[in-house]
Amino acid sequence: MKHPLDKFRFCPSCGSKHFDVNNSTSKKCGKCGFIYYFNPKAATVAVIVNEDDEILVTVRANEPAKGTLDLPGGFCESYETAEESVMREVNEETGVEVDSTEYMFSLPNIYPYSGLDVHTMDLFFKCSVTGYDMTAMDDVAELKWIPLKELDAEQFGLDSIKRGVVKIMDVL
């Protein structure tokens, strides 16, 4: 198995090429001593269920897993809370405002992006929204409401979302 920082060959502090594996989660510069730790990137996932016990799913417009089902969400930005992130992501992908969020659970994931395996920590939130007049936007090709009892985790393209859907079916 490759080290998660394998593609990082030069020290980000001094630029030295003596940037070598320190342990399973870090690299250390042999010239200046700088240690870079590899930590997961935070991402949020919205679980939105309507009064008919249907869950809002998206169809991915881009790779990875283009054309498969997903749940609204995305990467947290610097200086925002996870709650602010899930609210922003839902709005960017559907055009609706989130009224409230409730943390459910988290799952680790590996998200392939630009030739890198980005390790993420996906934070799932139950969200209530104002209205259901939605439009697929941003990186979403389509929005669908699926009855909870008809959810099939295998239709979801990202591993953590598949595992999350299984957990969601157990708790909702």
Q: Which residues are catalytic?
A: 142
Q: Are 69 and 59 in contact (CB under 8 A)?
A: yes
Cα separation of 161 and 46, whole Å? 11
